[in-house]
Structure 1
Amino acid sequence: MSGNVQQITVTSYPQTPYFLRVDWAEDLGAGFTIALTDGSSAWIGEVSEDEVTEDANDVGLARGEHVKDLLGALTGGRRGRQRDEAAYSFSLAPDHGRLSYQKISNGVPVHLGCVELQPAPDPVELNREMIALALKCNVDLKLDNSQLLDGNRRLKQQNQVILQELEQQVQDKEELERKLYSRFVPVMNEKKAKIRSLQDELQHLQRTDDKQSDKEERQSDSKRRRGGGGDQKGKEESRQSFHPSQEPTILITGRDLECHGISVDRAFSDDEEEPPRRKQRPLHTQSPDPGDED
């Protein structure tokens, strides 16, 4: 069973302080009881779960949102969280027979619910119980406050330790960076010098290779020119050395040479002279001398 006591201001009786006690089993959505007192008189009432659900449907809110608004209005936010007086308002019927509670949203009042009140059978006992509950809530709040203060102190101490460790780590980091930088710079300069040396060597090799290629190309062109000139000269000499005779060919036989008083070696075969003799026979047969026939 949970309960809470808070002081409220009733709009219809702004000069009279009222104290509101709310008790519930599970949560406000499952129903709750109310006790209201002005110090001399007391009134009690009860709200069922069905009434809470009906009020949520009337304002068009989900049950969880409506219960959250009820908790803020009837308990002041609970656990010592101060309720915003401008956010909620209470009104009491002239006969103290009904207590209504509203939420002020953007200056517009939104009805959260109401409870029918009846005079308490023993107002003094009810006031005593409310005072005891208020004292108990005050003790609980002090305990919660003390625990929060202790937690706050621990957090501050931890924060201080973390800040000191962070500063030390920053210093260690800067020192390590200086050491690494002092070691890295010579290595980097050495690597740069090596890279420049390799680049110079590469450029030298490229120039040497280009010169060699140009030289070989010039030699090749010179050889081709010399080779082409020799071939042309040889062809011209061959053409000059060969002059075919334009005169008609005359066949001279050994007998013709003997007729002109030129001795001929008899080693020559008779077959060499036979073709001319064969050619001469038809000539004698075709043109006979008339003096010989006589």
Structure 2
Amino acid sequence: MSGTVRQISVVLDPSTPYFLRVDWAEDLGAGYTLALSDGSSSWIGEVPEEEVTREAKELGVKREKYVEDLHQALTGGGESGKGSGGVAEKEEYLFHLSPDHGCLSYEKKTQIGVLVSVGAVELHPAPDPVELNREMIGHTLEHSADLEAENRRLQEKNQTLRQEQQHILADLEQHVQDIETMEGDLFSRFIMVLNEKKAKIRALQDTIRHFQQQLDQGVEEQENHRVTGVTVKSKAGDSIKKDQKEEDDLPQSFHPSQAPTVLIRDVSSQTSSMEVTVSDSKDVLPSCKHGLCYPQSPESKVKKPSPDQK
């Protein structure tokens, strides 16, 4: 069973304070009871669930929306809800009490000044107003104590959350410092590695440049050797052609190898001493010399001496 006690004022007698107590089982949509007191007199009333449903249908709103408005009117003061745009709307709730205190109605005044009926309850005089007032005072004190306990619990929870927040902030700051230190270390290592890579790249570029220069120099030397070889070959060809031309200019009957051949054959055929060989060579050499100076005809070739001449 839940209930609240609040102070209200009626439109016809705003100077007189009234105390309204509302009790319900599950929610106001399942039915609720009212107790109204001005300090000396008390009235009670009851609204069943069927009445709540009927009022919602008559207003043409959903039951949940109607129960929300009803709860704000009876327990939540004069402000309620949010508009369609998500902005809080200020809604004023007005209470009307009949002159004979037999009916209490409540309306909602929207922001544009339109009055919307929320509900009404029929009141009856309380059989024991003093006891009802005591109950209302006791309920108020009990509710105040509950609120104070809830307030202390929320303060303790708030303190715990604040301490946890401080610890989290300290840990977060430590993590940030560690991350910054790690980033600096990693950045310095990265710079070191990058410089090493740059040095290696420069060394490789120098090596490639050196190899390229050597390759270009080798190609140039090969080109020079090739040009030199062609020149040498051309000179050798010219000299060979010149020699061949000189040989062609010699008489056709001249054979330089004939005289030595005759001498060798004479020497090989001798079985006597060196004197005979020398004397034969002296006889042959003038003919060779003569042959060099005067070309001989094919008929005047040196004939091989016969055995009798020897």
> In which range does the TM-score fall when normalised by the shorter chain?
0.5 to 0.7
SS at 2:150 equivalent: helix
| Map of 2:100 onto structure 1 | 95
SS at 1:14 equivalent: coil
Task: Decide whether the 8 Å contact of 1:31 with 1:49 is kept in 2.
Answer: yes
Q: CA 1:39–1:215 in structure 2 vs 1: closer, same or farther (change >3 Å)?
A: same
| Map of 2:281 onto structure 1 | none
Task: Decide whether the 8 Å contact of 1:4 with 1:133 is kept in 2.
Answer: no
- Compute the displacement of 1:186 (Å): 6.8
Give the aligned residue type for 2:150.
Q
- Compute the displacement of 1:13 (Å): 1.6
| Map of 1:259 onto structure 2 | none
| Map of 2:7 onto structure 1 | 7
Does residue 1:147 correspond to 2:150, yes or no? yes
Task: Decide whether the 8 Å contact of 1:20 with 1:37 is kept in 2.
Answer: yes
Q: Which runs of 5+ in 2 are unaligned?
A: 80-89, 246-297, 300-310
Q: Which runs of 5+ in 1 are unaligned?
A: 77-81, 243-261, 264-294
Does residue 1:113 correspond to 2:115, yes or no? no
Give me the TM-score of the superposition, normalised by structure 2. 0.60
SS at 2:201 equivalent: helix
Q: Which has the higher contact order (CA 8 A, sep 6+)?
A: 1
| Map of 1:132 onto structure 2 | 135
Give the aligned residue type for 1:114.
A
- Compute the displacement of 1:231 (Å): 8.5
SS at 1:15 equivalent: coil
- Compute the displacement of 1:233 (Å): 8.7
Task: State how far apart, in whole Å, the 2-side matches of 1:175 and 1:91 are.
Answer: 68
CA RMSD of aligned residues (A): 3.9
Task: Decide whether the 8 Å contact of 1:28 with 1:67 is kept in 2.
Answer: yes
Give me the TM-score of the superposition, normalised by structure 1. 0.63
Alignment of 1:204-283 (within 5 A): 204-222=206-224
Q: Percent identity?
A: 34
- Compute the displacement of 1:205 (Å): 1.0
Task: State how far apart, in whole Å, the 2-side matches of 1:44 and 1:176 are.
Answer: 69
Give the aligned residue type for 1:133.
M
Task: State how far apart, in whole Å, the 2-side matches of 1:162 and 1:184 are.
Answer: 30
Q: Deviations over 1:87-112 (max 9, x none)?
A: 21111223333221112221322211
Q: Deviations over 1:181-236 (max 9, x none)?
A: 5x668755643542343132112112112212322433454466567778889999
Equivalenced residues, count = 235
Task: State how far apart, in whole Å, the 2-side matches of 1:129 and 1:197 are.
Answer: 96
- Residue 173 of structure 2, aligned match among 137, 152, 170: 170
